[in-house]
């Protein structure tokens, strides 16, 4: 795909910022278990927290190809940060733009896009992950609003979020049509962070177990209408899966660059190891697979820009990019040999960070189900 001058400029600006400001501190962010709030405001100044949002709300009004390119560059510097940015754009901001009232948009979008408020998407539960219709968190109608009770699991940014989009049951007899989406300010009494999970990777992005106890939300905090929660949850996955696929490309590219530089520098038997066919062919295969995944991501984003259905292509991009990324990073470790297993060379961290991409925003098995149905 040939990029426009604007798309190239966005890509290059995000790359310069990410490599200068984020990548040198990536390991430190992981040790800290988070990011300084000022970093989100810096991202907002670049337009990265509302990339496809209208300028009226402070958004960058960019296309989805530019959005994918920006996520690639962020992920090449720090995978966990790109996860937070992906959810902010593809679920929180996008969800409000599609289903929010004028009042909700005016109330929440400016702070989300300005980096003053981080969003969390609270759908998954202990027994409701891939099967979103199995949600058990309840919302009971009371005077002037609703009372939420229940628990959520694996919620990205659950601790640092200022606003959560919570999917809860409002009509148990209606099945998936009985789910409703709520906009929940996290400073409300009854919003409880039970646990910040200790994970294999992406340690700078908090993933939490949440609990709601008699949490009151007003009627005007219902997103869409009662009963539309399932549709709202699934409608954001198309862009979300493009975003996750994009971050896979960035992380894998970073690992491949480390491996290629090492293979050019490391000498064995009188020549650089990249000149040995075993190493050179491995890197060639990895680079080819990565480029194929990259083009698949951009193709899905282009369909989104054209206003055409892109759910199948988004699923193809996510399953192929996430599985390719793990293979690329594993191959990078193999190229470095023992050094690849050491934290100081950077590939080990990428390997830990990239593994979850085959799980969140729909597992690889779910992506294959979506693709199979389209056939």
- Residue 89 per-residue DSSP state: I
300 vs 291: CA distance, rounded Å: 14
34 vs 203: CA distance, rounded Å: 7
Q: What is the DSSP string of 355-373?
A: GGGGTTTS-HHHHHHHHHH
Catalytic-residue membership of 361: yes
Nearest to 348 by CA among 254, 284, 244, 280: 254
Residue 267 parent element (H or E) = strand 267-268
Helix axes 64-77, 277-305, angle to 10 degrees: 140
Q: How far is CA 280 from CA 186, 259, 285, 302, in A?
A: 51, 11, 9, 33
3-state secondary structure at position 269:
coil
Q: Residue 148's beta-bridge partner residues?
A: 139, 215
Q: What is the phi-psi region of residue 90: left when phi exceeds 0, alpha when psi lies from -120 to 50, beta otherwise?
A: alpha
Nearest to 72 by CA among 288, 323, 310, 297: 297
Which residues participate in catalysis according to the annotation? 361
């Amino acid at each position: 795909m040939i990029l426009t001058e604007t798309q190239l400029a966005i890509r290059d600006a995000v790359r310069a910022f990410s490599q200068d400001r984020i990548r040198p501190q990536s390991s430190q962010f992981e040790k800290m278990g988070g990011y300084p709030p000022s970093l989100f405001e810096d991202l907002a100044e670049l337009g990265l927290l509302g990339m496809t949002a209208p300028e009226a709300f402070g958004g960058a009004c960019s296309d989805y190809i530019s959005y994918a390119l920006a996520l690639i560059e962020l992920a090449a510097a720090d995978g966990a940060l790109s996860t937070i940015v992906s959810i902010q754009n593809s679920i929180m901001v996008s969800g409000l733009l599609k289903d929010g009232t004028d009042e909700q948009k005016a109330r929440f979008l400016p702070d989300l896009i300005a980096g003053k408020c981080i969003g969390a998407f609270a759908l998954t539960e202990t027994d409701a992950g891939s099967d979103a219709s199995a949600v058990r968190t309840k919302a009971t109608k009371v005077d002037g609003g609703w009372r939420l009770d229940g628990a959520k699991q694996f919620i990205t940014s659950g601790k640092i979020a200022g606003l959560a989009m919570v999917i809860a049951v409002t009509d148990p007899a209606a099945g998936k049509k009985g789910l409703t989406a709520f906009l929940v300010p996290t400073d409300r009494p009854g919003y409880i962070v039970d646990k910040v999970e200790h994970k294999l990777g992406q340690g700078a992005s908090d993933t939490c177990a949440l609990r709601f106890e008699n949490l009151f939300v007003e009627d005007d905090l219902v997103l869409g209408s009662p009963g539309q929660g399932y549709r709202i949850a699934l409608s954001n996955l198309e862009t979300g899966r493009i975003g996750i696929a994009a971050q896979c490309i960035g992380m894998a590219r970073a690992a491949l660059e480390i491996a290629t530089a090492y293979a050019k520098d490391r000498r064995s038997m009188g020549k650089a190891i990249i000149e040995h066919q075993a190493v050179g062919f491995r890197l060639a295969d990895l680079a080819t697979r990565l480029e194929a995944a990259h083009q698949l991501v951009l193709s899905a984003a282009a369909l989104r820009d054209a206003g055409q259905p892109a759910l199948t292509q988004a699923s193809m991009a996510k399953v192929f990019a996430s599985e390719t990324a793990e293979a690329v990073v594993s191959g990078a470790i193999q190229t470095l040999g023992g050094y690849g297993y050491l934290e100081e060379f950077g590939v080990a961290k990428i390997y830990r960070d990239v593994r979850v991409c085959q799980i969140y925003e729909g597992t690889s098995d779910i992506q294959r189900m979506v693709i199979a149905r389209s056939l």
